[in-house]
Amino acid sequence: MTTAQTVQEDLRALAEKAGRDLEEASALDILTWAADTFGDRFCVTSSMEDAVVAHLASRARPGVDVVFLDTGYHFPETIGTRDAVEAVMDVNVITLLPRQSVEEQDAEYGPKLHDRDPDLCCALRKVKPLEDGLKGYSAWATGLRRDESPTRANTPVVGWDEKRRKVKISPIARWTQEDVEAYVAEHGVLTNPLLTDGYASVGCAPCTRRTEAGEDARAGRWAGRNKTECGLHG
Ligand code: SF4
């Protein structure tokens, strides 16, 4: 086994142990463990649906890197939330861009690739840029929650991201929507205005619709298609 493989196996074992040890820990304690363990090789990713995990992480590690994927297809409200987070929170926002602009992608693949081949569009505009953007980190945190959809029901609070070979931390995996709302209210956390305009989950504009009462939070993402995840978490 090479030295790099040994390091990755050690990281995997560390992640799996932490997942067991921290299952009952608070979100802040999980992020404090991550900040203490990985230092500046730890970041938070945010879709700018809300800034809850970024807020928690900034308490654990002021100035923490918050990575945002600007696909070129976001609602203006999402970009506005990103700008507000950057302006008022003690975090370092890093915006990742796809290799091609929307116009360049349209020229190569034809317009509205998201309607014809959303998996390819997500691969080009989300998965690849994140893969590149995470290269300098050993661990990344997400806002995944088990109650969002059946595909997320087994999300560990700390796990091993086999695709990127990094530690993946989901500090609010055990939270409910009510827990999120309570944290937002208690700490005055920034949220995307679309959350109060009928959207339970906010992604790219062409692939997101408002949700109906009783639907899963993510039912409005790629609605009508056999697709529930963009490839970042699947
Ligand atoms: Fe493209 Fe839609 Fe994926 Fe955004 S969510 S990258 S627009 S397919």
In this structure, is the dihedral angle defined by the CA atoms of residues 86, 87, 88 and 91, taken in order, positive or negative? positive
Q: What is the CA radius of gyration of the chain?
A: 17
Does residue 40 sit within a domain?
yes
Give the tokens for residue 143.
């806002």
122 annotated to bind ligand: yes
What whole-number distance in Å separates Cα of residue 93 and Cα of residue 116? 32
Question: What was the pLDDT predicted at 215?
Answer: 78
Domain region containing 174: 3-189
Question: What was the pLDDT predicted at 189?
Answer: 97
Q: Which of 57, 20, 38 is nearest to 142 (CA)?
A: 57
* Number of C-beta neighbours around residue 93 at 10 A: 18
Does residue 228 sit within a domain?
no
Q: Is the CB of 152 under 6 A from ligand 1?
A: no
**Ligand 1 centroid, distance to 64 Cα (angstroms):** 27
43 annotated to bind ligand: no
Does residue 209 sit within a domain?
no
Question: What was the pLDDT predicted at 234?
Answer: 63
Does residue 92 sit within a domain?
yes
The residues annotated as belonging to the active site are: 230
Q: Is the CB of 73 under 6 A from ligand 1?
A: yes
What whole-number distance in Å separates Cα of residue 33 and Cα of residue 30? 5
Does residue 225 sit within a domain?
no
Return the CATH number at 44. Answer: 3.40.50.620
Does residue 65 sit within a domain?
yes
Looking at ligand 1, which residue's alpha carbon is closest to its atom 5? 204
Question: What was the pLDDT predicted at 226?
Answer: 64
Does residue 215 sit within a domain?
no
Question: What was the pLDDT predicted at 125?
Answer: 97
- Mean pLDDT in consecutive groups of 10 residues from the start of the chain, 234 residues: 86 96 98 98 96 98 98 98 98 98 98 96 96 96 92 95 94 96 97 94 93 77 69 70
Question: What was the pLDDT predicted at 223?
Answer: 73
Question: What was the pLDDT predicted at 1?
Answer: 79
> What is the DSSP code string of 186-197?
HHT--B-GGGGT
Does residue 148 sit within a domain?
yes
Looking at ligand 1, which atom is closest to the CA of residue 230? 3
Looking at ligand 1, which atom is closest to the CA of residue 126? 6
Structurally, the chain folds into a number of domains equal to 1
